[in-house]
Structure 1
Amino acid sequence: MLQVNHINTFIGRKKIVKDVSFRVNPGSIVGLIGPNGAGKTTIMKTILGLTKFTGKISVENKSVTENDHGALTRVGALIEHPAIYPFLTGLENLKLYSLDEADMNHVVSLLGMTSYINNKSKDYSMGMKQKLGIAIALLNKPQLVILDEPMNGLDIEATILIRKIIKQYAAQGSAFLISSHVLGELQKVMTNVLLITEGKIIVDQPIDEFNRVSHQQFRLLTEDMPATEKLFRDNRIPITKTDNYLLIARDQSYPVQDILYSHHIRLLELSPQGLNFEQTIVSLLEQQRRQNHEK
């Protein structure tokens, strides 16, 4: 559905996106995750032909180029803020983009917007505007939907509804690329994880594989934790601090025991430890920052 090959995106002379490659298959829901300034929104704008870039982007085997949106006729998008005309009603805004009235009415009903769709959108709450922006992205039965922070301003009920709709469209073959800081919600819908930091992708995995790897850690406690931490850093063993413990990768469990023994530091506890999704993301970003600092 979407193929991104070795794209680099510049803002002025600064390279924001650095040699990024990935694909989004029909029916998949890809979560684009990363800290502020990592390049998530820039990647989405680049895919939509809104920025200058090098490399190749194709949607349904049609090439995307800057300011030439012929390949994007079956792509729906919500980037940063909904593109809404405030003095038009919600329905009038939708009509500007709709090619199929029956489909438009279906989207309005699906999103639960019937009661206010004929009101001027300037009077909408933040959550209502967000739903209108999502409705615009879902018009005309898109094959690829790009959503930047779609849960912004939504209450719990609306968030659950949007999650259900995304799954429903994906089950019908639509592909999704979604960025969000609400990792708990994104985890509930996505099929694949794209983790980006400093313009580079450091993880590109199916969510099941990602979750399996994230549980392959051990919790470690010794009689001298400051000395242990320094020892591990000196030996370039990736660690994460949590409470009074250190977390290490499963495959490091035997080497660290040897290191501790050779330095006469007594091991008090070494036990399997599963991280939740947010903790795993933070751990990976911390490891990446350490590696970059060491370089």
Structure 2
Amino acid sequence: MKTLKYLFILVTALSFVGCEETPTLYDFERYKFVSFINEDDSALENEGVHDIFLRYDGSTLEEDFTVTLAVVGTAQEGVDYNIDSKTVLFKAGEVKSEPFTIEIIDNLLDGAEDLSLDISIESVSNPNIDIGVGIVNQSNKAMVFTIVDDECPEDIEVFGTQLVNENGNTLTGSINGNVLSLTGNIANYGSFPNANLEITLTPVAAGAKIGSATFDDFDAGLAGDGYEYQFRLAEEGTYEVCTGKINVKFWVYYLSGKTTGDWVYWYTVDTEITIP
């Protein structure tokens, strides 16, 4: 009787094992995928060149293949970016593509608007390779690339305030049009704490946040030592609104007879004026 009982238990147990679901085994030699490594990427507008890569999943291939991409979005080709080719190469045996290169154009214009590109895989030269990762609900078939604007909303009016130079001297700035008037110890000379200088700020393009800082020979005023001084531009300077910096190199001259005579070169000032 015990023997029959054990046989019954064994048969019952085997019947349960037979009812379990058999796991599905996929033939990974059959399935091959190409996709973007990342679904999101970004770069600053002033980065210059940015590379994006794709990946291949599947059995090792002995021949090269190519992937053709489609690119749309709020960024305009030729204005915000350039692309030499929308075809990406996979070399035989490689799982990572050659770079898809985007040349970002820093248009220098105002506004702090980010732009985007929707990049998708349009076709694959090898018909046995599927687009996206996965047998169903394929992922990474497309990606969004964001060009982050590096400009700020401010303009040259930001310099119309209290400023400091590289020696920590406080300068008072005011803006009239594109001319910055400065008063203070501009020449880093203790006997001349109230020197004056007018600098013309000229953008590299209309609306740009960077440009040149220049001035003609400028009579800076009478110093506490009784001498008249003049500042002369040594080389074209620069300004950047978004960093709040002005860089100017100039020569300091004085009148040989204090308030009359000839202008005589004394020393050079290579100054950086910033917003504290």
TM-score of the superposition, structure 2-length normalised?
A: 0.22
TM-score of the superposition, structure 1-length normalised?
A: 0.21
Larger radius of gyration: 2
Higher helix content, 1 or 2: 1
Higher relative contact order structure (alpha carbons within 8 Å, sequence separation ≥ 6): 1
